[in-house]
Chain A
Amino acid sequence: MKFSESFRDRDLVQGLSRRLRHLVSGPVTFMEVCGTHTLAVARFGLKHLLPPEVRLVSGPGCPVCVTAQEDLDAFLALGRLPRAVLASFGDLVRVPGSRTSLEKERARGVEVRVVYSPLEAVALARECPEKEVIFLGAGFETTMPATALALRAAAAENLLNFTVFSIHKTMPPALRALLGSGDRKLSGLLLPGHVSTITGTAAFRFIPEEFGLPCAVSGFEPLDILWGLNSLIEQIAAGRPEVANMYPRAVPAPANPRARALLEEVFVPEDARWRGLGIIPGSGAALREKYASFDARRRFAHLLAQVPPPPATVCRCGEVLRGVLSPRDCPQFGSSCHPSRPLGPCMVSSEGACAAAYRYERA
């Protein structure tokens, strides 16, 4: 089965596009919550296939973008520790902190390692016992099981030169906060397909129940996204909002119990600061007491307490992440902020709304 090719079928894409035009009965604004959706929408030029009544806005689902400046500054400060190795996913290397970035610190001689999997950071700690390996645990529920597995491996081997600086975040509390703020009038949400493989679709049921908004869990190919939008428009027409699973080939019902158990074993919810959204109760993932020895926030608390608060910035990523400012309406977009000299993370991450708009949608 060629999943990607099948879900890019030109005739079916055109057919669904026609169907959306046929079904839509008035102006609607849908939020694509996930950054991977934002990228796919831009990359495949899907906005051109939508009826003029349908507007898509990007949401807070790019983990790089929603990382608070305070967290980034704190992790960068850990590079001053003797024998420190800062290990991170590649997406975060170029994101500017208040004063520096991982890329700039590397140029100054700090050892920065890009890893594909958190287990690679554990292997690094195993191979270099004299080093202090600090892994930046970033990402939503999709990524958290991999970090949990790395922590479990480090604990099993008692690798005390390995720590995780967790900036992991969970999606349902963020959406609750976003919708509760009433900042942006939405008609429905395209929910993140890969987060949902871990959380299950039930984790988002509060959206139709409490906010009366239709939701569609969607995959990431062009047909998947149009199929999700088709469901949202049908739900509006029927007046029966629900969480529709439009990605059943990957999203099981119920959620994967082993992944849930792994997350439960390692992480405990805590309040977390999001760029643009402020502090959201219960949206962060701290390490449980059992893993305290591997928690960079606990181990290096003295150093982290000295990190100064970030100065004010002209970057308006925060408003972009709430869906209230379109990238192209930002006065910095394409002038003082572009991918080679980004002011903020939304222009750095390939999944950032600004980077996607710059790359694929500059008229």
Chain B
Amino acid sequence: MCLALPMRIVKIDGPQAVVEAAGVRLKARLEVLPEAAVGDYVLVHAGLAIARVDPQAAADTLALIRKLTHEIQ
């Protein structure tokens, strides 16, 4: 039930955003993430954007995993 997918904000109208992932568009509320902007990725759960997803942090994690897995080869 805690499934929440990263979706990209394509439009914002007050507290209401339109978010998109894999061609699917949904509405999501932004009350707890008022700083979110068009183009941001957010986790959407039960109609509410609950967290921003940081692409830089994702890239850093992947780079670290890549480095550590190479070390043991």
A residues contacting B by CB (< 8 A) are 1, 3-4, 6-7, 9, 11-12, 15-16, 18-19, 22, 34-36, 61-64, 89, 91, 116-120, 138-140, 142-143, 145-146, 149, 192, 194-195, 197-198, 220, 223, 227, 230, 246, 248-252, 256, 258-259, 262, 349, 351
Contacts and interface: CB of A to CB of B under 8 A. Distances in A.
Given A15-B73, A18-B72, A258-B31, A249 B53 contact: yes
B1 A36 contact: yes
18 contacts: A1-B58, A3-B53, A9-B62, A15-B66, A19-B68, A19-B69, A36-B2, A138-B1, A145-B48, A145-B50, A149-B31, A194-B2, A248-B54, A249-B54, A249-B55, A249-B58, A250-B53, A259-B32
A1 B55 contact: yes
Contacts of A35: 1-2
Contacts of A262: 31-32
Interface in B1-58: 1-4, 6, 29, 31-34, 41, 43, 45-48, 50-55, 57-58
B interface SS class: mixed
Interface of B: 1-4, 6, 29, 31-34, 41, 43, 45-48, 50-55, 57-62, 65-66, 68-70, 72-73
Among A117, A119, A140, A252, residue most surrounded by chain B Cβ atoms (within 10 Å): A117
Nearest to B47: A117
A61 B2 CA distance: 9
Among B41, B66, B69, residue most surrounded by chain A Cβ atoms (within 10 Å): B69
A15 B48 contact: no
B50 A142 contact: yes
The list of the 9 closest CB pairs from A to B, nearest first, reads: A117-B47, A15-B69, A146-B46, A197-B51, A249-B57, A249-B58, A259-B32, A258-B32, A1-B55
